Copies of this chain bind each other. A is one copy, B any other.
Amino acid sequence: MTNAFLLRLMEAGDLGDQELSALDDLCRSSRDVAAKKYLWREGDEMAAFPVILSGWAARYQILRNGARQITRLLLPGDAFYFEGSPDGFAVEEVITLSPCRIATIQRGDMRRLIERFPAVGEALRNYGCMENAVLSSWVVNVGRRDALERMAHLICETHFRLSQVDPQLGQQMPFPLTQDDLADVLGLTPVHINRKLQQLRQDGLIVLRSKQLTIHDLRSLQQIAGFDSAYLAPRRQVPRQRPNAAAA
């Protein structure tokens, strides 16, 4: 039972063995999807909600002028499109960034499960809150940090979120984003991304080659980014630390 989705939900709520194995059952049927394939595009039916068991995907919007903004990275364990209404809030499209394994849970199944185990419903609500927290932090990132800080923050965030569902994760991690993708995540241009990436490399903080990212100095990255994992890990935090901002 090493299902990434279960691990994420366990972060979000207190689930017993019964709940977990029932959820696991719902993830039984899964399929493989290649990289750069649409998981969903505007106009498609969406009668179920997909869960990413492995691989990376992205939600994004395209503006009239053709600009793209990625609004969310979907990492292993992430789910999307909870809404009950078929014509939901889904203005966005989804594409895989790497080969993915995807489970598709039928809405009806999930609804029944929640009625049987209210704790699952609560975990899902909390999971939604965590998503909100990530989105908020992206708004902050794009709104108030410069290019280097944004990159550092993104790296810290993805590393942490990956480590939540893969405790063995060390310095090295998959990082399937191209520089164009990175630009569309961080609200910058590919050219600028390239230059700032080089800066991080030259400073010896990271190595990024053939979609593998090696973090050589996590401390410095967190320092640059002002990264604090609190928003991603509600119950893991030991004592809540007061701000006490002795800022650098």
Q: Give the contacting residue for A135; candidates B65, B85, B139, B240; CB below 8 A.
A: B139
For window 91-141 of A, CB contacts with B under 8 Å fall at 91-92, 111, 114-115, 118, 121-122, 124-126, 128-133, 135-140
Q: Which residues of B contact A145 (CB under 8 A)?
A: 63
Q: Is A1 an interface residue (CB 8 A)?
A: no
Interface string of A217-248 (1 = CB under 8 A from B): 00000000010101110110100101101011
Interface centre among A59, A136, A143, A231 (most CB of B within 10 A): A143
Taking CB as reference atom, which chain B residue is nearest A232?
A: B89
Contact flags (1/0) for A186-197 with B, using CB distance below 8 Å?
A: 110000000000
Contact of A129 with B71 in the complex, beta carbons under 8 Å: no
- Is the Cβ of B139 less than 8 Å from the Cβ of A226? no
For A118, the closest partner residue in chain B by CB is B115
- Closest residue of B by beta carbon distance from A185: B143
Q: Is the CB of B234 within 8 A of A136?
A: no
Whether B142 pairs with A187 at a CB distance below 8 angstroms is yes
Knowing A65-B247, A139-B69, A226-B63, the reply to whether A118 touches B122 (Cβ < 8 A) is no
Q: Which residues of B contact A28 (CB under 8 A)?
A: none
Q: Which residues of B contact A122 (CB under 8 A)?
A: 84, 111
Q: Which residues of A contact B (CB under 8 A)?
A: 13, 42-43, 59, 61-69, 71-72, 82-85, 87-89, 91-92, 111, 114-115, 118, 121-122, 124-126, 128-133, 135-140, 142-145, 186-187, 226, 228, 230-232, 234-235, 237, 240, 242-243, 245, 247-248
